[in-house]
Amino acid sequence: MQRTPFDIPDQMRQAADKSVEQAKQAFDNFMEATQQAVAKAEGTAKSMRDSAADASRQAMAFAEENIAASFDLARNLVRARTVEEVAALQQEFLRRQMAAAAEQGKNLGSMASRAANDAMEKATPKGKK
In this structure, the dihedral spanned by the alpha carbons of residues 37, 41, 46 and 50, taken in order and rounded to 10 degrees, is -30
Predicted confidence (pLDDT) at residue 36 exceeds the cutoff of 90: no
Of residues 84 and 49, more confidence is placed in 84
Predicted confidence (pLDDT) at residue 119 exceeds the cutoff of 80: no
* Within-domain flag for 87: yes
Give yes or no for a contact between 97 and 48, defined as CB atoms under 8 angstroms apart.
no
* Within-domain flag for 117: yes
* Within-domain flag for 2: no
pLDDT at residue 44, rounded to an integer: 46
* Within-domain flag for 95: yes
Boundaries of domain holding 97: 81-122
* Within-domain flag for 88: yes
Of residues 125 and 118, more confidence is placed in 118
Query: What does pLDDT average to over the chain?
Result: 84
Residues of the chain with pLDDT > 90, as a percent, come to 45
* Within-domain flag for 108: yes
* Within-domain flag for 62: no
Angle at which helix 83-123 crosses helix 46-79, to 10 degrees, equals: 180
For the chain, what is the domain count? 1
* Within-domain flag for 96: yes
Q: Give the separation between CA 105 and CA 20, rounded to whole angstroms.
A: 28
In this structure, the chain runs to a length of 129
Of residues 120 and 96, more confidence is placed in 96
